[in-house]
Structure 1
Amino acid sequence: MSPRHQPVVGRRAVLKGMSLSALGLGGVLTGCGIPAAKQSAGDCISTDESAQQKTLNFSNWPSYMDESDEKVNGKTVLPTLEDFQTQSGIKVTYTTDVNDNAEFYAKVRDQLGSCQSCGRDIFVLTDWMAARMIGLGWIQKLDHAKIPNVDQQLLAKLKAPSWDPNRDYSVPWQSGLTGIAYNAKVTKPVGSFTDLLTREDLKGRITLLSEMPDTMSFMLKLVGADPEKFNDAEWSKALQKLEDVVSTGQIRRFTGNDYVQDLNAGNIAACEAWSGDVIAMQADNPDIKFVVPEEGLNLWSDNMLVPNKATHKGNAEKLMNYYYEPEVAATLADWVNYICPVTGAKKAMETVDPDVVDDPLIFPDEAMLAKTSAFMPLDTAKAALYETDFNLAIGG
């Protein structure tokens, strides 16, 4: 099995484990019911020592960096990261300690909430948590003069999220899609979420995701609401839609990406699915098909962020700029199997791995991207309320 075809489900499994307990009881996402402390650039001043200190502490998700088959002194080689260190002279301490967005938040909230160093210069978090930390004033503003590759190469669809419209604080590491997958060996094609939730031949043979933003994005679409901008009344209507479907017995269960095993085996016929999982499954099972639902796709990103009091922001910006070099981005995407956010990487992939160039789950075209939407950013209290609603609806 080549690195490209190694399963990457570990990272998304823990990512998609966001639950009521992870969000925190009482809608505050902090211990003891104390609201998270906001900061501001004027109040929490960071000093950059990159010119004197060629080091960088980088926290990322497991299985989210290209790896070589070889080992040196018993350690796995990370080719693009090794090349960055050689080119830049910056020594990177790379740690895969982001196992869950909310869990990671819990690790750093006390320090960042009190304007102290969290011991990291750069970390990678998903849209909803990136938005929350930016809103709390915990993230340093980037110097775009130092990341020209990002400005030149970032996919247009990812340039202006509502929670960071100028990408002043965040740079996408990788992105992904949420849609439908089905096993062609056990069912005919499934073309829409309406089909998934109503077809009699699929009753009890489908799964939906336990990730609230993913599943509720589709429920909002089904009731005519926009998942990027909706109100409480529309939320209630979508929630009722979900409860109605649950009551019919159409849904076998709600899952993380443990749907992979059941779909491969034919224990379920179809499901809500993440693009990276589907690529990994298709390597060994050609019967697994990914569908762009008639209702559209969910698009998400995991983002590089520089926290307050990190003392190597300039070094972090060099790393961001490096990973937006097309050949580097293509090498990374070839291994991790998710959407590459770098426009020039598709051309570079012709040399890196020609078999991947036309894979729409790594390089979606404009027509596919036009069918995507993201989930509306929520403040901490609203997120906890909606998560409570969702967990009650799915029986969690």
Structure 2
Amino acid sequence: MSRRSLLRALGAGAALAGGAALTGCGVPAAYVQPGDRAGRDRSAQDRSVHFANWPLYIDTDEKNESRRPTLAAFTERTGIKVRYTEEINDNDEFFGKVSPALMNHQETGRDLIVISDWMAARFVRLGWVQEMDRARQPNVTRYLDPQLRSPAFDEGRLHSVPWQSGITGIAYNRKKLGRELRSTADLWADDLRGRVTLLSGLDESFALLMQGEGVDVTRWTEDDFHDMCDRVERMVKRRHIRRFTGNDYIKDLDSGDVLACQAYSGDVIQLQADNPDIAFVVPEEGGELWAESLMIPNLAHHKRNAEALIDHYYQPEVAAELASWVNYVCPVPAARDVLASAKDEETAALAEDPLIFPDDEMRRRLAIARDITSAERVRLAQRWNTIAGL
């Protein structure tokens, strides 16, 4: 089971709890002014940091699963002890967990968190995360993937640093389908009727589908969104779309019940290990490049320690070790050369995988979608959820 598959299973339905009550029902969240974000930094006196992450999203020791080699190396080098918790199972659920403290200008008890870019956009808009001191992060400054340096929600990456990245594209069963797929439009071919699935989440699905309509997703409009929804709605009425899924598309694709679907690059890498007939394509019209980013919440007690931990993971050798375990797009392109020189052939082969290190040709088709604003979200979610049956 992939990391993303597990978190989807754990977080199913969680969007209706906690955070959704604050974000989806018109209850405004408090904006925090920049001057109110910094707490008393105890990093010098207390050599520790609390790092909250998703399940299965870090390297582990094969002989001792509770030991995480890259974290252990950080502690050995710096003396900073890391309290690592795998408590983030769903973006909205986690929002609901920490938002009461952040709304009331209280510390969350966490120094470093990892959330998806669309939720990171919300935290930035609300002023709930601190600006990082890049002078303390020379590796981030030097090695961060240029394509990820300035997303629309956080220009210049002042408040966020990608933990891992990924691509939303199309996965398909090459053997059972009997041909290649090259574009999003290929999903609507007559012989795929009833054998296609789309992602159910609005934030996960909309960008790729709009790219299939020829939209520049860095500056899409509501008209673009509704045009895309019109097509999807027609396909639902024709029963062309089998269903809308979380990560359970993996089972359907592997069994052959589904021949083509929206998919995440990291999931497909793991599927291909057991089923080489599974292929992944970034459509000719484009695919979505996304990230799950590290952020430091307001009033964190160990900001400098958190900044040091982030910079640790931007050393190419450390980034390579992490990438070899999680198999998502590595935000440190220089890690490719480290993996290529590995003595283990299977590890070295990862350096040539474009789903971990996209080549130039693939990168030309990737775009980071502008996020859905708070003013747009309610009405767009209503339209999409009606179509997806949520």
Measured against the shorter chain, the TM-score band is over 0.9
Alignment correspondent of 1:192: 183
Say whether 1:168 aligns with 2:158: yes
Please list, as runs of the form range in 1=range in 2, the aligned pairs for 1:264-283 lying within 5 A after superposition.
264-283=254-273
- C-alpha distance after superposition, 1:17-60 (max 9, x if no partner): 688736736xx517x85311110122344221111110100000
**Post-superposition shift, 1:16?**
8.6
Please list, as runs of the form range in 1=range in 2, the aligned pairs for 1:122-271 lying within 5 A after superposition.
122-187=112-177, 188-197=179-188, 199-271=189-261
Instruction: Give the match's secondary structure for 2:157.
Output: coil
Alignment correspondent of 1:343: 333
The letter for the 1-side match of 2:5 is: G
User: CA 1:348 to 1:16, structure 2 compared with 1: closer, same or farther past 3 Å?
Assistant: farther
Greater mean deviation of Cα atoms: 378-387 or 245-254: 378-387
Say whether 1:357 aligns with 2:351: yes
Over aligned residues, Cα RMSD in angstroms?
A: 1.9
- The whole-number CA distance in structure 2 between the counterparts of 1:15 and 1:142 is 31
- The whole-number CA distance in structure 2 between the counterparts of 1:9 and 1:208 is 16
Q: 1:315 aligns with which of 282, 292, 305?
A: 305
- 2:214 touches 2:285 (CA, 8 Å); kept in 1? no
Alignment correspondent of 2:100: 110
- C-alpha distance after superposition, 1:353-384 (max 9, x if no partner): 21211011001012212211223212334223
Alignment correspondent of 2:111: 121
- The whole-number CA distance in structure 1 between the counterparts of 2:13 and 2:283 is 24
**Post-superposition shift, 1:346?**
0.2
- The whole-number CA distance in structure 2 between the counterparts of 1:115 and 1:170 is 20
Instruction: Give the match's secondary structure for 2:156.
Output: coil
- 2:38 touches 2:130 (CA, 8 Å); kept in 1? no
Say whether 1:24 aligns with 2:20: yes
- 1:127 touches 1:302 (CA, 8 Å); kept in 2? yes
User: CA 1:126 to 1:105, structure 2 compared with 1: closer, same or farther past 3 Å?
Assistant: same
The letter for the 1-side match of 2:97 is: K
**Post-superposition shift, 1:191?**
1.6
- 1:16 touches 1:210 (CA, 8 Å); kept in 2? no
- 2:173 touches 2:279 (CA, 8 Å); kept in 1? yes
- 1:18 touches 1:102 (CA, 8 Å); kept in 2? no
TM-score (norm 2): 0.94
The letter for the 1-side match of 2:40 is: T
Instruction: Give the match's secondary structure for 1:375.
Output: coil
Q: 1:41 aligns with which of 34, 38, 42?
A: 34
Alignment correspondent of 2:276: 286
The letter for the 2-side match of 1:193 is: T
Alignment correspondent of 1:371: 365
Alignment correspondent of 2:376: 382
- C-alpha distance after superposition, 1:198-239 (max 9, x if no partner): x11111011111121332213322333322212222222221
Say whether 1:7 aligns with 2:2: yes
Instruction: Give the match's secondary structure for 2:34.
Output: coil
- The whole-number CA distance in structure 2 between the counterparts of 1:20 and 1:375 is 22
User: CA 1:11 to 1:301, structure 2 compared with 1: closer, same or farther past 3 Å?
Assistant: farther
Say whether 1:328 aligns with 2:318: yes
**Post-superposition shift, 1:105?**
0.4
Instruction: Give the match's secondary structure for 1:98.
Output: coil
Q: Deviation above 6 Å: which 4+ runs of structure 1?
A: none
- C-alpha distance after superposition, 1:76-133 (max 9, x if no partner): 2111111111111001100000100110000000101111010000000111111110
- The whole-number CA distance in structure 2 between the counterparts of 1:70 and 1:51 is 33
Instruction: Give the match's secondary structure for 1:24.
Output: helix
Alignment correspondent of 1:3: none
Greater mean deviation of Cα atoms: 271-280 or 349-358: 349-358
**Post-superposition shift, 1:274?**
0.6
User: CA 1:338 to 1:360, structure 2 compared with 1: closer, same or farther past 3 Å?
Assistant: same
Greater mean deviation of Cα atoms: 363-372 or 156-165: 363-372
Q: Unpaired runs of 5+ in structure 2?
A: none
Alignment correspondent of 1:55: 48
- The whole-number CA distance in structure 2 between the counterparts of 1:107 and 1:392 is 27
User: CA 1:20 to 1:61, structure 2 compared with 1: closer, same or farther past 3 Å?
Assistant: closer
User: CA 1:226 to 1:217, structure 2 compared with 1: closer, same or farther past 3 Å?
Assistant: same
Instruction: Give the match's secondary structure for 2:274.
Output: coil
The letter for the 2-side match of 1:394 is: A
- 1:20 touches 1:384 (CA, 8 Å); kept in 2? no
The letter for the 1-side match of 2:20 is: G
**Post-superposition shift, 1:9?**
3.6
The letter for the 2-side match of 1:55 is: S
- 1:296 touches 1:372 (CA, 8 Å); kept in 2? yes
Instruction: Give the match's secondary structure for 2:204.
Output: helix
Greater mean deviation of Cα atoms: 382-391 or 153-162: 382-391
- 2:329 touches 2:357 (CA, 8 Å); kept in 1? yes
Q: 1:78 aligns with which of 48, 64, 68?
A: 68
- The whole-number CA distance in structure 1 between the counterparts of 2:84 and 2:235 is 44
Q: How high is the sequence identity, in percent, across the aligned residues?
A: 43
- The whole-number CA distance in structure 2 between the counterparts of 1:44 and 1:276 is 34
The letter for the 1-side match of 2:82 is: V
- The whole-number CA distance in structure 1 between the counterparts of 2:229 and 2:247 is 22
The letter for the 2-side match of 1:49 is: R
